[in-house]
Chains A and B, each alone.
Chain A
């Protein structure tokens, strides 16, 4: 019998769809004869008592979740998300450098160092990538810290803000599409396929309404994985292959029939009735992976 700890923070239970997915994981594990307990940060000294750790709290090398992941890894436990995947996925600079090295099809991207924020460099970026460009902080998640800039003034304003935390930023070609493919991958195999629709009049899946703090999200349309285009499958698996063998959500744009990777996320969202609606076996497969 495998004892699985699911590391969560309070916010993981604030959305009923996420809470339902967490309960689905628990029920699936228990049906398979495994123990499944929620582990909160006040009990992380209990990690040695488990066989596997499944992290659902947001991951980043600076968050408690990294301490949980690395502790479990050092103790020889099975871990989703493993520390190496967190290190690469939480830093998009690391990720894009690996994509470039391994020839993963991706959105045209250049890196900008803090010392290079000057007129000549900004002009060069606009002439290479066109206007507007997308400025991305390496620690982006849930569509945050990704902003558009169409002129030098707004470029400088956004870049200065993002440079407060990171000394290098990623600048990408603005590539608007009606939706992003979201491909769930586990252990080099496709887990689920969705379309994350972009809200009308917006350019990213989660967008703020002008002047309001509320974030609106586009619809999630689930597709049966057997129906996914073969090239989409190939690109998704190639992108994950350079990162590791864990659980990932790959964002891919379809541009004139070509598939280009936007980013690979560790710790992908799994909401009941969304990512799982066509492929209900995702819970079982993740539990099997953790208890193997």
Chain B
């Protein structure tokens, strides 16, 4: 099994740097580890190179793209029976107010903003959120009703450090579907249930020593299970 990583891992783990892997033609099951899987960034090209070589790889290019586009993330998650809230893709403020209602959480759906969301509790806050995330109303946004409390959690191979059963179970299910080893999940907690809202890249500084240990442990586990990465 091949681990390609752009982050400094624990010493017991042997990993290739992305640049070395991109210049090689090593054929093996590949785990691509980076805090940033954005489309067109090095993390994406590592998965692409592995796919071209015919390697089984996590995450796949398709999942990298789909998980970062909130409407597709939610559509595929809901098809896989992962709890989500209804969403609306639009660039029209009035439509959000009539069809989604307030308060609302708004995610960007444009080629330039890759992270973050805004919560709007009233109409003027919604206009401001649309102006900023829609880049002056030029692009659509993905609007979801805010029914409870929003949590942002780190997911390391689907595991979260939060001791909330519903959020942990949701994080595991999202990992099983998209196989994104490292990411941040935005989750809504309402009526004692957890609902998926969005996914975004982690910043490298957000990875703690405990996370790096968890990464090592998970990789050991995958390797003990015969390199089964669930692709």
By a beta-carbon cutoff of 8 Å, the part of chain A in contact with chain B is: 41-42, 44-45, 60-64, 66-67, 70-71, 74, 83-84, 87, 91, 93-94, 97-98, 101, 111, 113-116, 138-139, 165-168
- Do A70 and B72 touch (CB < 8 A)? yes
- Complex: A114 Cα to B22 Cα, angstroms: 12
Residues of chain A within 8 A (CB-CB) of B95 are 42
- CB-CB nearest in chain A for B61: A87
B57-108 CB contacts (< 8 Å) to partner A? 61-62, 65-66, 69, 71-72, 75-76, 79, 88-92, 95
| Complex Cα–Cα for A210 and B75 (A) | 47
Interfacial chain A residues near B52, Cβ < 8 Å: 94, 97-98, 101
| B154 vs chain A, min Cβ distance (A) | 24
Determine chain B's interface SS by DSSP, over half rule.
Answer: helix
Q: Which residues of B from 27 to 65 have beta carbons under 8 Å from A?
A: 39-42, 44-45, 48-49, 52, 61-62, 65
- Between-chain CB contacts (< 8 Å), 23 pairs: A41-B89, A42-B91, A61-B69, A62-B39, A62-B111, A64-B89, A67-B72, A74-B72, A74-B75, A74-B76, A74-B79, A83-B62, A87-B62, A87-B65, A93-B45, A93-B48, A94-B48, A97-B48, A98-B52, A113-B19, A113-B42, A165-B40, A168-B22
Please give, as numbers and ranges, the residues of chain B lying within 8 Å of A70 by CB-CB distance. Answer: 66, 69, 72, 75
With A64-B140, A66-B65, A67-B72 known as contacts, the answer to whether A167 contacts B45 (CB < 8 A) is: yes
User: Is residue B139 within 8 Å, beta carbon to beta carbon, of the partner chain?
Assistant: yes
B87 to chain A, nearest CB (A): 9
In the bound complex, residues from chain A placing their C-beta under 8 Å from that of B72 are: 66-67, 70-71, 74
**Are A167 and B40 interface neighbours, CB within 8 A?**
yes
Cα distance A70–B91 in the bound complex, in angstroms: 19
What is the interface of chain B, defined by CB distance below 8 A to chain A?
Answer: 19, 22, 39-42, 44-45, 48-49, 52, 61-62, 65-66, 69, 71-72, 75-76, 79, 88-92, 95, 109-111, 139-140
Chain B residues with Cβ below 8 Å from A97 are 48-49, 52
Residues on B with C-beta less than 8 A from A116 are: 19
Residues of B near A167 (CB, < 8 A) are: 40-42, 44-45
Residue of B nearest to A137 (CB): B40
Q: Could you tell me if B92 and A42 are in contact, using CB atoms closer than 8 angstroms?
A: yes
Please give, as numbers and ranges, the residues of chain B lying within 8 Å of A113 by CB-CB distance.
Answer: 19, 22, 42, 45
CB neighbours of A166 from chain B (8 A): 40
Beyond contacts A41-B140, A97-B48: 9 other A-B pairs, Cβ-Cβ < 8 A, are A60-B111, A61-B69, A70-B69, A74-B75, A91-B40, A94-B48, A97-B52, A113-B22, A113-B45
Give the docked Cα–Cα distance between A97 and B95 (Å). Answer: 43
**Which residues of B sit under 8 angstroms from A84, Cβ to Cβ?**
62
Determine the residue in chain A with the shortest Cβ distance to B78.
Answer: A74
The residue in chain A whose Cβ has the minimal distance to the Cβ of B41 is A167
- Chain B residues near A111 (CB-CB < 8 A): 22
Cβ contact within 8 Å between B65 and A139: no
Tell me whether B19 and A115 are in contact (CB under 8 A).
yes
Top 7 nearest A-B pairs (CB, nearest first) are A62-B111, A166-B40, A97-B52, A167-B42, A61-B65, A70-B72, A168-B45
**From residue B19, how far is it (CB to closest CB) to chain A in Å?**
5
State in angstroms the CA–CA spacing of A101 and B27 once bound together: 14
Set of chain B residues within 8 Å of A62, measured between Cβ atoms: 39, 110-111
CA distance A87 to B49 in the complex (A): 14
